[in-house]
Amino acid sequence: AGTVVTFGEALVSVRSAGPLAIGSPLTMHAAGAELNVAVGLARLGHAASWGGVLGDDELGEFLLRSLAAERVDASRVRRDVLPTGVMFLEARTPDVSRVFYHRKGSAGAQLTPHDVDRLLDRDLAWLHLTGITPALSERARAAVLHAAETCRRRSVPFSVDVNFRSKLWSAPEAAEVLPRLIEGAEVVIGSPEELVLVAPEGKTVEAAAAELLSRGVGEVVAKLGAAGARAYTAQGVFTAPAFPVRAVDTVGAGDAFTAGYLSARLDGEDADGRLRRGNLLGAFAVGQLGDWEGLPRRDELGLLDLGQGE
């Protein structure tokens, strides 16, 4: 049936139990939006592959080990002399966390169009991209635009999670590049603000979705956090509520939603089923520390069944 491929920058996320400035205890996790999606898909039994450039260092070894343990194919990863990127996630208060990137000049930003060609040279079922990659460097931007172009040329379906990162680039810069990236995408996912950012004419999320659909995007999915999610499709607009859960760590919930949505899409589920599985994975993700650690295997999908589960 082919492989679901994704690529981008994987990071080591170092999470603190309290303020960093006082030396709070730290734990090490594998992270990066695309890695999170790949793990979510692999846990549900999809053949998933992650690609990118990792440092030839201990942190790169840790990320490869994590991918292998989660049965994500990483056979086309390239190693580089530059260091693997790190992200500190500081629990400043129980409700407020802060992100500090140590990723400038990292191996992950060295991705090239040639790396992409190597990665996509296979039986591709689907390609998943994010709006983080074009913000990393000129060559990473060229690489991700080349990947989308390759999909359009080969008629391979692809998805884009907008994932705007204000610490990496400005909204005007993103608004210049991202509309080109999402052209012809089968699925575009984002928060309402992110969807407005990628639709030059759209002032509201509804207008943005209508514009993207009219320009050939297959479906537009708005992540609404605790309010669930909404899909704008040629068949109409569908909304599904979030699962009521206690949140321990919300970072990674959006990527989990994306993995669930894509998983259901690959399984041929309808819009309601896709939204439901997206919300379900989001709920699993927020229940545990780490971006993806709490995600379910396929036989665990019913665990959170509270009357609306699968």
The residues that touch ligand KDG, with contacts defined as CB under 6 A, are 11, 13, 31-33, 36, 87, 132, 165, 251-252, 254-255, 291
Amino acid letter at 291? Answer: D
103 CB contacts (<8 Å, ≥6 apart)? Answer: 9, 11, 85, 86, 87, 109, 136
Tell me the CA end-to-end span of the chain in Å, nearest whole number: 24
Give the single-character DSSP code of 73: B
- Region of 234 (left: φ > 0; alpha: ψ -120 to 50; beta: rest) is alpha
Pair of tokens at residue 50: 């992650």
Give least dist CB 282 to ligand KDG, A. Answer: 11
DSSP 3-state of 136: coil
Contact 33, 85 (CB under 8 A): no
Burial class (CB in 10 A: 0-12, 13-18, 19+), 172: exposed
Contact 249, 289 (CB under 8 A): yes
Give least dist CB 201 to ligand KDG, A. Answer: 28
Give least dist CB 84 to ligand KDG, A. Answer: 13
User: Is position 123 annotated as part of the catalytic site?
Assistant: no
Given the complex with ligand KDG, which of 202 and 294 has the nearer CB atom? 294
Give least dist CB 131 to ligand KDG, A. Answer: 10
Catalytic residue among 115, 161, 255, 291: 255
Given the complex with ligand KDG, which of 107 and 271 has the nearer CB atom? 107
Given the complex with ligand KDG, which of 32 and 294 has the nearer CB atom? 32
Given the complex with ligand KDG, which of 37 and 185 has the nearer CB atom? 37
Give least dist CB 135 to ligand KDG, A. Answer: 8
Given the complex with ligand KDG, which of 129 and 132 has the nearer CB atom? 132
Q: Which residue is nearest to ligand KDG (CB)?
A: 31
- Give me the active site residues, please: 255
